[in-house]
Amino acid sequence: MKIKYYFTLFVLTCILFSFTNKSLAQKLNKEETIQLMLDTATTLRQSFTGFVLYNPKKDKVLIENYPDKYFTPASNTKLYTYFTASRILKDSLPVLGYKFQQDSLIFWGTGYPLLLNKEFDDSTVINFLSNHQGKLFYYDRPTTDERFGPGWGWSDYQWYYSSEKSKFPIYGNHINFRLKGSFDSLLVEPQNFKNNIILKYENAPDEYWPLYRAEHQNEFHYYPKADTFQTGYEIKMPFMYSKTLFLEMLEDVLHKKIKEYDKIPVKEGKILRTGNTDTLYRKMLQESDNFLAEQIMMMCSSEISDSLGVDIGIKWAVENLMQELPDKPIWRDGSGLSRYNMFTPRTTVKLLTKLQKNPGTTQLFKLLPNGGKSGTIENWYGGKEKPYVFAKTGTLSNNHCLSGYVVTRRKKTLIFSFMLNHYIVNTSETKKVMQQILEYIYEHY
């Protein structure tokens, strides 16, 4: 009988709590209602939640929840990368540096990531070098960068999202593997790595992944017993970059010998440029491509320094472009893979406000993921006649952020930054709460 009594009491308490919440919500204004949603969301109770909603037209902060606290932004960092690139690179990309010396062409890298990259249709480098009839020399420009950024996961070396940074990337610094049927049908692009695959007949380290790269060399182990061998397999995998490998692959394409050049003052040279900026920025923002983000910051550094380095670009941007931000960004890489990055919600909103003025919201909405339609929020924030959320996601384990713009039913454009850190539930559960709040904002503002 006691069990039945306590169960009945529990049900009545839940009904009363639900009724009280509904009655309370009816008496609250919009801002108080959203605060209640933040405070009572079960999935957020053991996490840290930062949220700012801002009306740029009235220059008014509508809602603040820990606006000045520092959070791990994950790929929200790419908003800072895009902001920096839009100010330094503007509407052109530095492809390579070069200098003619008698009948020789000396060239060097700028971090440009599109050379022979299968994700883009770009032949700028190949055409330029192929058209030179004399000798080719490559100058290995100094860099302050390691192959990985500070605070990156050391064990992620073989996954596409952790491709190595470099002064002069080639093939996007990764390999495309495609298998349909037997091992003999395995396609490898570029083919330079075809002979680097070693068959392993024991069980794979993970039964769902038949291909693994050795950590410190370009040796790839293939396990035919893995389950995906039966259904087909396709993966992008980073290769270990080196100057020697870069020159070998470039020579294979150009059918020309390339010698090395000891030293040349970079400032004496010229810069070959292309205007293919929006295509690059859109892929970086919509697909949250880490490799492109790092190389974009590398290109920014090439415009302001003789040496290349993501850290050079970041330091210059913080000191020269971000003085108006309310809290100084703790910014360590271009992509957001680093857990050393820390931004506050109000600083990200301020950055988005500056972006809204230049290049403007129309252009930004074409580059950012569109809710229910494109990019990393294609399956979220939809269900309306038109997309109403235009925002950048950021996800690391136990951390998810979303920052951007929400266009309400009444055609108001509001700026927001949602930063959730250290939750212990599935990320989709936190997204549901965020979606409920953004839908409420869409309907009521």
Q: Are 61 and 52 in contact (CB under 8 A)?
A: yes
Q: Scanning the structure block, which residue is given the tokens 């050795």? A: 214
DSSP, collapsed to helix, strand or coil, labels residue 51 as strand
Q: How far apart are CA 303 and CA 317, in angstroms?
A: 12
Q: How far apart are CA 270 and CA 99, in angstroms?
A: 6
Q: How confident is the model at residue 40 (pLDDT cuts 50, 70, 90)?
A: very high
Extract the tokens encoding 295: 């190389």
> Per mean pLDDT, which range of 5-14, 144-153, 155-164 is the poorest?
5-14
Is pLDDT above 90 for 267?
Answer: no
Q: Scanning the structure block, which residue is given the tokens 């996961």? A: 153
Q: How far is CA 384 from the centre of its chain?
A: 26
- How high is the mean pLDDT of the chain? 91
Q: How far apart are CA 270 and CA 88, in angstroms?
A: 17
Stated pTM of the model: 0.91
Q: How confident is the model at residue 200 (pLDDT cuts 50, 70, 90)?
A: confident
User: Given this model, what pLDDT does residue 208 score?
Assistant: 65
59-86 pLDDT, tens digit per residue, is 999 999 999 999 999 999 999 999 999 9
Q: What crossing angle do the helices spanning 310-320 and 77-88 adopt, rounded to 10°?
A: 80
CB under 8 Å to 225, separation ≥6 — which residues? 201, 202, 203, 204, 207, 210
Is pLDDT above 70 for 33?
Answer: yes
Average pLDDT over residues 361-370: 93
